[in-house]
Structure formats: structure tokens, C-alpha cells
């Protein structure tokens, strides 16, 4: 706690210093001052914005109409859920958001068996669809902006992933902010991955898994991609393949779509709109306060890491969400580093639309692409 307070005070003092300096400089010095601010805020990764990735969109009039009606109904439901928490104080808002996420899919039909476990000190549950092979295992890391979400909120996703990959899915309940630091989330992912390599739904397994996968969405996508670097650098068994759905890859939030797609991102707009005007370096200061590390640390921002020598990676994102360019830039950098990575984009769907299966036709389409990807790399 003392470290966080010290870091916050340092960040505030630095900001006040810059403001004070701006009011006392001469005209020539002011030019230099604003030049420094420009260098701190400018986008140095624009060369990674192309190629744009594969785009999926309804082709015939009937499919377009079905998709339009399904998205409209979903957006209405999302807006209604946001009304309950937008004006609350932050601490109360966090609690309401957690409850909202866990209850949003309470009525979904789940055919998988759910088994609570302690995964190396991390609360988790095995999600096993009927007849799956327990020697094939997938670690799933849920999203929720690092402060919300749980295995319960993501059972639609984990159950479907178990079915289409013929794998037992270990969905982890990692520690959340603000009660814990971002690095606590990272540590829990690492511990649970090690545990999964030695345990199956039936218990301790002395035989090596026949296939291993890692997947996550949004904040969990960030943790998934960060975990891949740790696995490579610490000589752990590499996953056969990894999946990231709408991942946060740059915790400095410098990707263009953070601002250009703000109005079209129904799901993340309520959370992001109050911060969208801030320059990137102030995001970095906030990130250092929340995590105890710089937002430019590759552990926090997988986009800034060495992306060579990683397993095959599939990234799926929405064309109209604020994290679109996070996914695009990560894939393009990974490809340049020699990693087998691919980006798939869907038109006119919300952030992590796969979780709205089977209501959205695009969710079923995305899962078929995921099925084919994991089959190629099993």
C-alpha cells in the first residue's frame, strides 16, 4: 500500500511540475515543452496497423437482417445493464459490475460438468463437455477489465470451448484489482498453468497432457498473451496453440481505435469514455499506480514484448470495438517476429461477441473458426 501511495504521489508531482513549468516558460521554451509532450504522446507503432486481417461480414440480405436484429436486441440489453452503475461511486460501481457480469448469463443452458478445484492456490473450475478427452487441457482466463468477471460469468464460452476443442477447460478465478495488483493476476495465471500440466479433472496426472491450449478474452486476452512470453522464457511446456478474443495488448492505450471506435463500442464505451481524452503518457502513469509497474512493461503490455518463438496464435476482434487495433498490432508484430499468428475481424458485433452464443449468428461463425484453428494445431 505504501508503494502505491508513493507512486501515486510521484505521478501527481510530475504532472503538477509539467503544468507549472508550462506557465513559466518563455515562448521559445514553450515550443520545446510542447515538443516533449508530443514525443511522450505520439504513436510509434502506426507501422503495425496494416495488414488489417481477415474480415467476416454477412453476405446476403437475409443474413444481414438476422444479424442486425440480434445485435440491436443485444445492444439494448447491454445499455439497460449499464444504467444501474454508470453514476455510482467507483467502489460501489465495481461491486455492481461484478454482480452484473456474473448474473448476465445466468439463464444460459450449460451442458458441461462443472467441478470446483484449487489450482495451485488459485480458485478454479474444470468445465468438461460430455465425452471430452481429459488428457487435452485448455487454460481459460476470463475478461472483465481486471476488476470483474469470474468462471461463472464466462461459462457460455468455456463450455463451448470444451466442446469444440475436445478438451477439459480449466477456468480460473484469479485475484482482481483493485483489492490486488495487476501482477497478482499475472502470478495466478502462471501458477494455474503449471498446475494444469500436472492435473486433470480426475486428479493428479503423472502422464503428460496430449495437448495443451491457452485462451482468454479482453483483460484475460492480455493475461493469455503475457503468459505465453513467460512460458517461453521459463522453459515450461509450450501450448500447442493460443486464442485471444478482443485482447488488451497495449496497457498504455495508444492504439487509434481506442478513440476512433469509442462511439461504436456499445460494451466498453461506458467504461472508457471518461478517460478517452487523456494522452497516452498519463495512462502510463495511472497504470504504474494500479500495478506497481509501468504500462510499458511487456508483462503489462504484451505488444511491447519480444514476440518471437511463440506458439500459433489466433486473435479475433470486432471491427467496431475500441480494442480492434490492439489485436491488429499484436498479430502484425508477431508475424514480423516469425510467429504463426492470424487476425480475424467481424463487422458490427460487440466486444467479445462470442460470449453471446447462440444469440448472435457471428458467434457460431467465430466458434467454427476457433474449432478449425485448434484442430490444425492439436
Catalytic positions, please? 218, 321, 351
Cα–Cα distance, 174 to 342 (Å, whole number)? 27
DSSP string of 164-193, one letter each residue: HHTEEEEEE----TTTS-HHHHHHHHHHHH
Cα–Cα distance, 297 to 293 (Å, whole number)? 7
What single DSSP character describes residue 216?
E
Bridge partners for 244 per DSSP: 216, 315
Residue from 25, 29, 18 nearest 282 by CA: 18
All cell numbers assigned to 375: 484442430
How far CA 233 is from CA of 35, 80, 309, in Å, comes to: 38, 44, 10
Residue with cell 491450449: 213
Bond prior to 51 in cis (omega within 30° of 0)? yes
Amino acid at each position: 500500500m505504501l508503494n502505491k501511495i508513493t507512486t501515486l504521489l510521484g505521478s501527481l508531482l510530475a504532472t503538477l511540475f509539467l503544468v507549472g513549468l508550462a506557465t513559466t516558460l518563455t515562448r521559445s521554451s514553450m515550443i520545446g515543452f510542447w515538443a516533449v509532450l508530443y514525443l511522450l504522446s505520439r504513436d510509434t507503432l502506426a507501422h503495425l496497423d496494416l495488414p488489417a486481417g481477415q474480415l467476416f461480414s454477412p453476405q446476403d440480405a437475409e443474413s444481414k437482417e438476422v444479424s442486425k436484429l440480434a445485435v440491436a436486441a443485444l445492444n439494448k440489453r447491454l445499455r439497460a445493464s449499464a444504467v444501474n452503475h454508470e453514476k455510482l461511486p467507483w467502489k460501489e460501481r465495481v461491486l455492481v459490475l461484478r454482480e452484473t457480469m456474473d448474473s448476465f448469463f445466468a439463464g444460459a443452458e450449460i451442458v458441461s460438468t462443472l467441478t470446483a478445484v484449487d489450482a495451485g492456490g488459485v480458485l478454479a473450475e474444470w468445465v468438461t463437455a460430455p465425452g471430452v478427452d481429459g488428457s487435452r487441457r485448455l487454460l481459460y482466463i476470463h475478461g472483465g477489465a481486471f476488476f470483474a468477471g469470474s468462471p461463472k460469468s464466462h461459462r457460455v464460452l468455456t463450455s463451448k470451448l470444451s466442446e469444440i476443442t475436445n478438451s477439459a477447460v480449466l477456468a480460473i478465478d484469479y485475484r482482481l484489482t483493485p483489492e490486488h495488483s495487476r501482477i497478482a493476476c499475472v502470478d495466478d495465471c502462471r501458477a494455474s498453468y503449471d498446475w494444469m500440466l500436472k492435473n486433470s479433472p480426475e486428479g493428479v496426472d503423472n502422464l503428460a497432457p496430449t495437448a495443451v491450449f491457452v485462451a482468454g478474452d479482453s483483460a484475460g486476452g492480455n493475461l493469455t498473451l503475457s503468459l505465453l512470453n513467460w512460458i517461453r522464457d521459463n522453459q515450461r511446456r509450450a501450448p500447442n496453440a493460443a486464442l485471444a478474443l478482443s485482447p488488451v495488448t497495449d496497457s498504455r492505450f495508444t492504439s487509434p481505435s481506442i478513440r476512433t471506435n469509442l462511439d461504436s463500442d456499445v460494451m466498453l464505451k461506458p467504461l472508457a469514455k471518461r478517460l478517452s481524452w487523456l494522452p497516452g503518457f498519463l495512462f502510463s502513469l495511472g497504470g504504474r499506480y494500479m500495478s506497481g509497474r509501468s504500462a510499458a512493461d511487456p508483462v503489462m503490455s504484451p505488444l511491447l514484448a519480444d514476440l518471437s518463438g511463440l506458439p500459433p496464435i489466433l486473435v479475433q476482434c470486432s471491427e467496431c470495438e475500441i480494442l480492434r487495433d490492439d489485436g491488429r498490432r499484436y498479430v502484425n508484430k508477431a508475424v514480423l517476429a516469425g510467429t504463426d499468428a492470424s487476425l480475424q475481424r467481424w463487422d458490427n458485433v460487440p466486444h467479445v461477441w462470442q460470449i453471446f452464443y447462440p444469440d448472435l449468428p457471428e458467434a457460431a461463425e467465430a466458434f467454427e473458426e476457433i474449432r478449425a484453428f485448434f484442430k490444425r494445431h492439436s
